Chains A and B, each alone.
Chain A
Amino acid sequence: MGLLRKLLAFLHLQGHGELLAVGARAPAFELPDHTGASVRLSDFAGRTVVLWFYPKADTPG
């Protein structure tokens, strides 16, 4: 972990826990999407899902 990342984590700016292991069961979730509609991981059973965590809406990179 780089120094910048350690500093961001210390300041609670950007969280960094441990990546989950390949082969582990993906934790279930139910969250509103950008339209307010509810989305559950189980809605995608039988399909491959890419779950992309991004820091903040409308920021570069």
Chain B
Amino acid sequence: MLGISFDAPEHNRAFAEKFSFPFRLLCDTSRDIAIAYGAARSRRDRFPARYTYVIGPDGRILEALDTSSPASQAAEILARR
């Protein structure tokens, strides 16, 4: 599990320490990776969309989720499994 946002490392470090996340938070300050993954359209975007990807061992996308409404998304995922 990797979190990813546009925040600088110092902001993400405080976030990670506050909640003791057991995963790393990546800092896409240029927005380039969010744009590559469709979670942003422009370097002017202030925040990425709430998209979640599951990437398989071969580097291909297994799941692509718009997690704007997490509860309904969770039910959908569970229903498929």
Contact = CB atoms under 8 A, between A and B. Distances in A.
Interface residues of B, number: 56
B74 interface: no
B44 A55 contact: no
B52 A49 contact: no
Contacts, number: 173
Interface residues of A, number: 44
At the interface, is chain A mostly helix, strand, loop or mixed?
Answer: loop
Interface of B: 1-7, 9, 11-16, 18, 24-28, 31, 33-42, 44-57, 59-68, 70
17 contacts: A14-B45, A16-B49, A25-B61, A26-B59, A27-B33, A31-B4, A50-B53, A52-B52, A53-B34, A53-B37, A53-B49, A54-B48, A56-B47, A57-B11, A57-B12, A57-B14, A61-B70
